[in-house]
Amino acid sequence: MNELTQSKDGYIVFDESGTCALAYGAAEKWFKTYDEAINYALEKVTKNCELFKDRIDFNSVIVYEGSEEFMHQSHSIPCGKVLFWWKNHK
């Protein structure tokens, strides 16, 4: 795998949907491998693009490097090197 996308700690996918992240269920999910993280992120992007046809909403999906421990403590988003960032708004 490309050394620029390898992470010994794993990857975190942050999914922010809606105008208010907490009300709409912003969530993070940790993955050990890059492929798992990217596949999950692309599923979220595809779903958000379909939903955008029926309602205008603000969405973003970020994949960044991070360990599973980050999931159990306060941290900024993203708190690691960003590998993928999609959003449908400025």
- Nearest Cα residue to 63 out of 73, 77, 75, 50: 77
The answer to whether residues 34 and 11 touch, using CB atoms and an 8 Å cutoff, is yes
pTM over 0.75: yes
State pLDDT tens for residues 14-26. Answer: 988 755 655 666 7
Name the band, by pLDDT with cuts 50, 70 and 90, for residue 53.
confident
Beta bridge partners of 11: 31, 65
Going by the DSSP 8-state scheme, the letter that residue 69 receives in this structure is G
